[in-house]
Homo-oligomer: A and B are copies of this chain.
């Protein structure tokens, strides 16, 4: 694949350069995985690595190459059915919970599929594909970056179900000394009429659900100056946070009882104290690192226990808009949340480390209209039963995040790198 992707023709079209970079990154993420690793599905919410690799290629094949590259021949006509995710407009789909039974195509064949699509995309880019193609390619690149993050969260979930506790990358989440970040302080923000959401006039990409940019009224508010740590979470556990129903939303308390939640996902108490499963295998719990793998229900209960609350997504965005977009993302980082370090600042860890649960239900912005056609199925149809998370995580691809970026998951979700920032009123 490399020879193709290195060709200067990608450069002829800025979207081509982006495409080549994203696709290469996906390939590198798959390198530590065997054919077997890439096959099973650890739970219905997760997908096999092979599926992520193929589905993102199918996206370009179905949305770009078939309509825009004359004479394009699909790699395998059956793949549409296998690797369509949820696009009802795009024909019959393989049932989601059975994705893990597709031992064929093999990982090797899926990589060949990727190369086939990449070659055709290079051809298209060389020709120049027009505005419509460029728009959908751009969407496809951001879509693929989302699946890059999911590939990692899903592999962690799969490996955590194996009593051998294999490591995705043995050097991930290293057991390095960290220091106590000290007490949390709350930084004040002035409210008023504030504009939020993505503005396409800025010229940078945003998913449909990030706009339209619109006005909201915010009261003055305060945000915690850092993320909640594992050590703070241990206090919550020790002070019976998981046993006091008054701390919990009613649905959350039902989950606690039904699923026996007593700590974040992947935490295990052993003879030598708490450990947690990471992309580097089992690791001693770092009390100074940000807590992760907690649900909205847990985040909300923790906030109530602490006498605080979760921020709304607009409080978060308003505060984040003025901050430098730096943090512990994938590639440069340990693929795990990291204890506070680096220069002092009024508010830290806003980007990277862990997705921050907000108290906002995922809902359409005023005047939101889905795109016509399959692209319109992107986000709008998930606007019930989900909460917004902001800021990206330690497995988010660098460059993928923005202050306006809205991630969303059901409130019982724990396998994502999701954590907590507190807020309070004046």
Contacts and interface: CB of A to CB of B under 8 A. Distances in A.
Interface string A152-190: 000000110111101000000000000000000000000
Interface stretch (A102-110, A129-137, A261-269): A102-110
A36 B103 contact: yes
B381 A105 contact: no
Given A35-B35, A246-B89, A251-B384, A103 B162 contact: yes
A239 to B, nearest CB: 17
Given A82-B163, A163-B81, A425-B366, A103 B246 contact: no
Contact of A103 (B34, B81, B248, B363): B34
Contact of A162 (B89, B102, B159, B382): B102
Interface string A329-364: 000000000000000000000000000000111011
Contacts of A366: 219, 425
Contacts of A376: 246
A359 B367 contact: no
Contact of A39 (B39, B161, B251): B39
A146 B409 CA distance: 32
A101 B214 contact: no
A103 B385 contact: no
Contacts of A40: 39-40, 100-101, 103
Residue with the highest number of chain B CB atoms closer than 10 Å, among A106, A193, A215, A385: A385
B382 A249 contact: yes
Contacts of A297: 384
A410 to B, nearest CB: 9
A377 interface: yes
A88 interface: yes
A383 interface: yes
A407 interface: no
A238 interface: no
A250 interface: yes
A376 to B, nearest CB: 8
A245 to B, nearest CB: 4
A216 interface: yes
Nearest to A309: B364
A36 B106 contact: yes
Interface centre among A82, A250, A382, A411 (most CB of B within 10 A): A250
A252 interface: yes
A216 B217 contact: yes
B166 A104 contact: yes
A34 B106 contact: yes
A127 interface: no
Contacts of A383: 249
A250 B381 contact: yes
Q: Which 3 A-B pairs have the closest CB atoms?
A: A361-B361, A88-B245, A36-B103
29 contacts: A34-B106, A35-B36, A36-B103, A36-B106, A37-B104, A39-B40, A40-B40, A40-B101, A82-B164, A86-B250, A88-B253, A101-B162, A102-B164, A104-B164, A215-B219, A216-B217, A219-B366, A246-B376, A249-B381, A249-B382, A250-B382, A250-B384, A253-B381, A361-B361, A361-B363, A384-B387, A384-B411, A385-B385, A385-B411
Given A193-B217, A251-B385, 4 more contacts: A39-B39, A81-B163, A104-B162, A249-B384
